[in-house]
Amino acid sequence: MATRIDGKALAAKVKAEVAAEAVKLPRQPGLAVVLVGENPASQVYVRGKEADWAECGMRSFPYRLSTETTQQELLKLIDELNANPEVDGILVQLPLPKPLDEEPVINRIAADKDVDCFHPYNVGKLTIGEPVFRPCTPAGVMEMLEEYHIPVAGKHCVVLGRSNIVGKPMASLLLQQSGTVTICHSKTENLAEITRQADILVSAVGKVNTVTADMVKDGAVIIDVAMNRNAEGKLCGDVDFANVEPKASYITPVPGGCGPMTRAVLMRNILTAAENHLK
């Protein structure tokens, strides 16, 4: 039976470390959070993050904008936040409601305030192994592996999903730790054949029961990044947890695994941004 990786406990530890460092700064680290529209999931995420930054002693600059907000108005707000010396990090909650275009917004955020690590400059720095910020979800996964002394070097790491926010940066971080990385996606042929070779399997697909017990090698480490709702409306990941847990050596639960760590790494990134600005 696998050891359950306790992302919630590790996140609490990381946030306590961040809070202890934040109070040493001459001013509170500041985070602007921009939420456009009424997407209920986004509202829940933002409320959760607000609780985190209060806990970490950070100052928040909340912007709740209506669905009628134009692209130009949003870009103007980003320019103002870029110029505000009390704002260390800018977080635009995605997805943006239509017809707003996300890419120009992400690209407009000053790279030194891009605490989500979505800006092409920061993505490039990450890819060449010189990250300014580490992307929150993948970095949270790496910290869980480290905490549980799970070796990555030389291991076959299989990542399901190739999105810019999870799959690709996840592969970059595993590669930097000398993992042998395979990235799978919706066009991958013989998926189960590949996942069965994984020493570490990271699933970031967003579909219930993508990873079933027959797709997993005995003793594999299973990291479930996804946040889905099952038929009963309960939060769950991609992995058939009940049947995969007995085969795995380590496994992350959903909830209580990757989610809390994503938020904790975001807090660390805001602290890093503030430290850089105050240098």
Planar angle of CA 5, 9, 12, nearest 5 degrees: 140
Of the candidates 11, 134, 54, 107, the one whose C-alpha atom is nearest the C-alpha of residue 92 is 107
The 8 Å CB, 24+ separation contacts for 129-135 are 129/176, 132/272, 132/276, 133/269, 133/272, 133/273, 134/173, 134/265, 134/269, 135/165, 135/169, 135/173
The whole-angstrom separation of Cα 268 and Cα 279 is 17
Judged by CB under 6 A, the stretch of 17-25, 97-105, 198-206, 264-272 that binds ligand NAP is 198-206
**Annotation says 49 is catalytic:** yes
| Closer by beta carbon to ligand NAP, 210 or else 272 | 210
Output 87 or 160, the one with its CB closest to ligand NAP.
Answer: 160
- Residue 129: what are its φ and ψ, rounded to 5°? 85, 20
The interface with ligand NAP within residues 124-163 (CB under 6 A) comprises: 137, 160-163
- The dihedral built from the CA positions of residue 228, 234, 240 and 246, taken in this order, carries a sign that is positive
Which is catalytic among the residues 116, 199, 238, 240? 116
**Active-site residue, selected from the candidate residues 52, 88, 93, 247:** 93
Closer CB to ligand NAP, 47 or 185, in the complex = 185
- Given the residues 49, 155, 168, 247, select the one marked as catalytic: 49
The region of 15-23, 74-82, 96-104, 201-209 touching ligand NAP under the rule CB under 6 A is 201-209
Residue 165 or residue 248: which is nearer to ligand NAP going by CB? Answer: 165
- The window from 117-125, 182-190, 192-200, 241-249 that contacts ligand NAP (CB under 6 A) reads 182-190
Region of 117-125, 126-134, 143-151, 203-211 interacting with ligand NAP (CB under 6 A): 203-211
User: Does 202 help bind ligand NAP (rule: CB under 6 A)?
Assistant: no
- Residues 220-259, one symbol each (x = binds ligand NAP by CB under 6 A, - = not), give -----xxxx-----------------------------xx
Would you count residue 187 as binding ligand NAP (CB under 6 A)? Answer: yes
User: Least distance to ligand NAP from the beta carbon of 25, Å?
Assistant: 26
Is 93:40 a contact under the CB 8 Å cutoff?
Answer: no
Task: Give first-to-last CA distance, the chain, whole Å.
Answer: 48
> Shortest gap between Cβ of 255 and ligand NAP (angstroms)?
9
Tell me if residue 116 is catalytic.
yes
Task: State the nearest-atom distance from the C-beta of 278 to ligand NAP, in Å.
Answer: 28
Smallest Cα–Cα separation from 246: which of 226, 268, 216? 216
Stretch that binds ligand NAP, among 49-57, 144-152, 164-172, 214-222 (CB under 6 A): 164-172
Residue 206 binding ligand NAP, by CB under 6 A: yes
Residues that bind ligand NAP (CB under 6 A): 137, 160-163, 165-167, 184-188, 191, 204-207, 210, 225-228, 258-259, 262
Residues belonging to the active site: 49, 93, 116
